[in-house]
Every structure is written in structure tokens, then in C-alpha cells.
Amino acid sequence: MEQYIMKGGNPLVGEVTIGGAKNAALGILTAAIMTDDNVLIENLPDVRDINVMLEAIQEIGADVDRIDRHTVKINASNIGEVSVDDEYIRRIRASYYFIGALLGKYKSAQVPLPGGCNIGSRPIDLHLKGFRALGADISVERGAVVAHAIDLVGAHIYLDKVSVGATINVMMAATLAEGQTIIENAAKEPHVVDVANFLNSMGANIKGAGTDIIRIRGVRKLHGTEYSIIPDQIEAGTFMCAAAITRGDVMVKNVIPKHLEAISAKLIEIGCEVIEFDDAVRVVGKPIQHHTNINTLPYPGFPTDMQPQITVTLALAKGTSIVTESIFENRFKYVDELARMGSNIKVEGNVAIIDGVKSFSGASVNAPDLRAGAALVIAGLAADGYTTVDEIGYIQRGYECFEEKLRALGAMIEKVDSERAAQKFQLQVG
Ligand code: UD1
């Protein structure tokens, strides 16, 4: 069983280059099957969720040509199957995008109900409400969503809750519906905008992505395109927190600083220096950092996917911080693991009350999900002594070459698969 082993204490110093956005890529890859022409996608992150998605796309009959690690060509003219039933696909939440893409193109889809990280109840009722409003017949049969439509017809859809997935999914189906669709209370996340830009580059007519009202005029057909995915806001934010928590100095390159504003603002509040460049941010951690309060919110608010990373950072800041998780109710499971490293955090419902401690001590911990796993790694890099993080498959779902990138910044970290390899690492680093 693979695990990360690390010896904490080195401030992270240097430059790191951020890859393409996983969550944008998941939407874009499924949207790519909505045309019969060739689609070339660049800046694809090479992470597990993406590779699972590509397998599933291939499984339903599309040609997937991985030109290199970060570039893929997709041709979906041979899709013979509107039923997605790949055992892996159930594990990734974004499998729900197949419903919007297949329903839009073929007016028919059968897709297993999604899995993904266990961070709370994650219904897809809003997605289904949107598809029904477009005229689709939807039922859930034997664990799968079954969707059919004679014609999809544009509609006025109000999303009761801001949902990234529902916004992207309904937007995809509406792209090939007749007439105009208006999505109100749409999510404004950078990846919603990226998927809309991608669809527009294929001939869709989508306006307003990035605001809370998206207007889509349906088109009859989409054509091929070449497209480069935006940088990953959460990977960037994770390295920003890694710089802060280790009191390091890291230039985080290939980012869109605007997408990072909520994270930068909080790091500045706790006393870090954050310097913005055109496509980079430099974060300089300070020996003494201060408490602050954070509430996770839809974009442009503080992202829920950065909540564990900022919480571990605050656990080593002076004073009492309060972090409120407003998006997913079950996202503090890693706090018990962090307690093994000496943190002092009390969780009451969706609120964590964090009393900053002076130091962490290394321990053996388990990654309970993707982002919490990454947070435990950066906590380990700031801890005294050795930390091991198990269940790193979660982390590999969303971070490409995580340990290599950290090592290039001076971290003492290794991925090992046996007790012997772990001992060898300990002998090497001393
Ligand atoms: C996406 C991201 C995930 C991120 C989340 C919030 C992907 C693949 N995943 O997840 O990393 O944490 O956005 O930024 O892009 N909800 C409903 N009914 C629905 C849909 C959602 O009640 O039909 C609720 C959810 O339970 C949650 C909130 O709405 O409380 C937001 O969820 P949503 O934005 O849809 O998250 P995902 O798209 O699943």
C-alpha cells in the first residue's frame, strides 16, 4: 500500500508550476463528446480522476488519443452507446456530466449515480430538475439515471442552490436544445467559465458565464476545436498554504491570480506576504502568523476545496480562528487525524474552532479524502519529525506529481510502498 513519508521542518522555497484545472477538465472532456469532429485539449492534468474519465469516454466508443501527458485528441463520431457503465466511473463525482453531454447530443443517456469524495450528502436533484425543465423524462433505475427526450427545448431554470455541477451539466444539455435557456442563480466558478468558453469555441452560443445569469441560445450542431484548460485554482492554493505553513517563500507559477484572490486575502490577513504577478503569485510565510475567520462560499467566496489546507495553516497560527464550512456538511473528518499531530481543534456541526498551537509533531495519519489528504501532507511538512500519510490514492485523484513538486521546493518527502522503503527514506534523511 502506497503512502507518503516525510520529515517536516524545511521551509518550502523556490518555484512551482501549476497544472490544468481538474474540475474544468472533467467538464471539458465530457463536453468534447458532443461533436463528431476532432477536439484537441491541452493543459490536461495527468491525475487519476482525469484518466478514469478518459477511460469511460473510450468505453462508450469515442476515440481517445493521448498525444502526450497533457494533451488529448478526442473523436466521438463513433459513440455507439449512451449507457455509461464503467465500474470506475461510479467513483468519480463528475461522471454526472455524461448525462448533460449525452442527453444534449443523443437525447438519451443512462449514467450510474455518481460517487466521489465522501464529504457529505451530495445529491444531484438540481441537475435533474434542470434536465426536466428542458423537456427530458428522467427516472432513476437500478442505481442509474435514465434520461430521454424527444426534443430538448430551452427553458428558464432557477437553481435553488448555487451548484457548480448542475450549472455545467444543464448548460451542456441546453447548448443543443431548441431556443433559449436562462440559468438563474448559476455558479460563477472559474471552471464554469472555462467549460462555457470551450463550448463556445465549438460553436455554442453561451453568454454570461461567470455571472449568476447564464443565457444559452441552442445551436443545431457543435464543431471541432483546439482548447487549453485554465490553471488549477485549488492546486495553486494548496502550494500557497504549503508556503505559508512551512514559513517558506514560494513562487506559484502558471496561475490566474484573480482566481486566487480569496485565498490570497486570507493569507495576507494572517500575516503572510502575497505578491501578485501577471501569471504567478509569490507567498512568503512569516514566523508568527495570526488567527482569522473563514466561511466557505461559492466563488468568488473562499472555496470549500481549500478549507482543509487553510484550516491546517490556521492550526499553527497564533490565537483562535473559526472556520465555517457552508457547502459540504461532512468536511472536517481530517480534524481527528490532525489531532494526532498535536493540533487543538474543536468541531461543532459545520464550525471548527481552532486554537493555534506552536508546533505539530509528526504522526501516522490517514487521508480521508482528496483535499484533506493534501492538507495532512502540508501539515506533515510543517511538523517536527516524521509523518506518514496513508490512503494517498485520494490525493493522486487530484494532484499531479505532488511529492515531486514538493521535493523540488526542498521538502523531504517520498512515496513508498513498503516498510523497508520507509526505513530507507529515514536512513537517507537522517
Ligand atoms: C464541485 C467540485 C467540487 C467542489 C464543489 C463546490 C467538480 C467535479 N467538483 O462539486 O470539487 O467542492 O463543486 O465548489 O467540479 N447540491 C444540491 N443538489 C444538487 C447539486 C448540489 O443540493 O443537485 C448541493 C451540494 O450538496 C452542496 C452544494 O449544492 O451542498 C454545492 O455543490 P456543487 O457545487 O454542486 O458541487 P459539485 O458540483 O458536486
Closest CA to ligand 1's atom 20: 124
Model pLDDT, residue 142: 84
Element (H, E) at 28: helix 22-31
Contact 410, 10 (CB under 8 A): yes
Q: Tell me whether the omega of the peptide bond preceding residue 123 falls within 30 degrees of 0, making it cis.
A: no
User: How far apart, in whole angstroms, are the C-alpha atoms of residue 15 and residue 405?
Assistant: 9
Model pLDDT, residue 155: 98
Any idea of the CA torsion for 260, 263, 267, 270, to the nearest 10 degrees? 150
Please state the φ and ψ torsions of residue 348, each to the nearest 5 degrees: -125, 105
Model pLDDT, residue 276: 98
Say yes or no: CB of residue 69 within 6 Å of ligand 1.
Answer: no
Could you write out the DSSP letters of every residue in 85-143? --TTGGGSGGGGHHHHHHHHHHSEEEEEPP----SS----HHHHHHHHHTT-EEEEETT
Contact 311, 244 (CB under 8 A): no
Judging by beta carbons within 10 Å of its beta carbon (0-12, 13-18, 19+), is residue 352 exposed, middle or buried? buried
Please state the φ and ψ torsions of residue 77, each to the nearest 5 degrees: -70, -20
Q: Which residues of 109-135 are buried (b: 16+ CB within 10 A; e: fewer)?
A: bbbbebebbebeebebebbbbbbebbb
Could you write out the DSSP letters of every residue in 53-81? HHHHHHHTT-EEEEEETTEEEEE-TT---
pTM of the model: 0.97
Strand, helix or coil at 191? helix
Q: How far is the CA of 129 from the centre of ligand 1 (A)?
A: 15
Say yes or no: CB of residue 93 within 6 Å of ligand 1.
Answer: yes
Could you write out the DSSP letters of every residue in 334-353? THHHHHTTT-EEEEETTEEE
Say yes or no: CB of residue 185 within 6 Å of ligand 1.
Answer: no
Model pLDDT, residue 118: 57
Closest CA to ligand 1's atom 38: 165
Per-residue pLDDT tens over the stretch 155-204: 999 999 999 999 999 999 999 999 999 999 999 999 999 999 999 999 99
Q: What is the pLDDT along the chain (430 residues), one digit of tens a residue?
A: 899 999 999 999 999 999 999 999 999 999 999 999 999 999 999 999 999 999 999 989 999 999 999 999 999 999 987 888 767 677 788 899 999 999 999 999 999 887 655 555 578 999 999 999 999 999 988 888 999 999 999 999 999 999 999 999 999 999 999 999 999 999 999 999 999 999 999 999 999 999 999 999 999 999 999 999 999 999 999 999 999 999 999 999 999 999 999 999 999 999 999 999 999 999 999 999 999 999 999 999 999 999 999 999 999 999 999 999 999 988 999 999 999 999 999 999 999 999 999 999 999 999 999 999 999 999 999 999 999 999 999 999 999 999 999 999 999 999 999 999 999 999 999 8
Ligand 1 atom index nearest CA of 371: 11
Contact 174, 135 (CB under 8 A): no
User: How far apart, in whole angstroms, are the C-alpha atoms of residue 379 and residue 362?
Assistant: 9
Strand, helix or coil at 3? strand
Ligand 1 atom index nearest CA of 124: 23
Say yes or no: CB of residue 369 within 6 Å of ligand 1.
Answer: no
Q: How far is the CA of 412 from the centre of ligand 1 (A)?
A: 35
Cell numbers of 187, please?
A: 455558479
Say yes or no: CB of residue 323 within 6 Å of ligand 1.
Answer: no
Closest CA to ligand 1's atom 27: 327
The mean pLDDT of the chain is 95
Q: How far is the CA of 122 from the centre of ligand 1 (A)?
A: 7
Ligand 1 pocket mutation, candidates 29, 50, 122, 169, criterion most atoms within 8 A of CB: 122
Residue carrying the nine cell digits 482525469: 50
Model pLDDT, residue 426: 94
Count of alpha carbons within 13 angstroms of residue 364, beta-carbon side: 5
DSSP state at residue 12 = P
Model pLDDT, residue 89: 74
User: How far apart, in whole angstroms, are the C-alpha atoms of residue 4 and residue 356?
Assistant: 25
Closest CA to ligand 1's atom 4: 305
Say yes or no: CB of residue 122 within 6 Å of ligand 1.
Answer: yes
Model pLDDT, residue 12: 98
Per-residue pLDDT tens over the stretch 54-74: 999 998 999 999 999 999 999
Kindly tell me the sign of the dihedral angle through the C-alpha atoms of 38, 41, 46, 48: negative
Say yes or no: CB of residue 94 within 6 Å of ligand 1.
Answer: yes
Q: C-alpha 259: how far from its chain's center?
A: 13
Among all residues, which ones are annotated catalytic? Answer: 117
Say yes or no: CB of residue 164 within 6 Å of ligand 1.
Answer: yes
Could you write out the DSSP letters of every residue in 128-150? HHHHHHTT-EEEEETTEEEEE-S
User: How far apart, in whole angstroms, are the C-alpha atoms of residue 398 and residue 52?
Assistant: 12
Closest CA to ligand 1's atom 12: 305
DSSP E strand stretches across 239-380: 249-253, 273-276, 280-284, 293-295, 320-324, 344-348, 351-355, 364-366
Q: 404 Cβ partners below 8 Å, 6+ apart?
A: none
Strand, helix or coil at 333? coil
Q: Is 363 left (phi over 0), alpha (psi -120 to 50) or beta?
A: beta
Strand, helix or coil at 223? coil
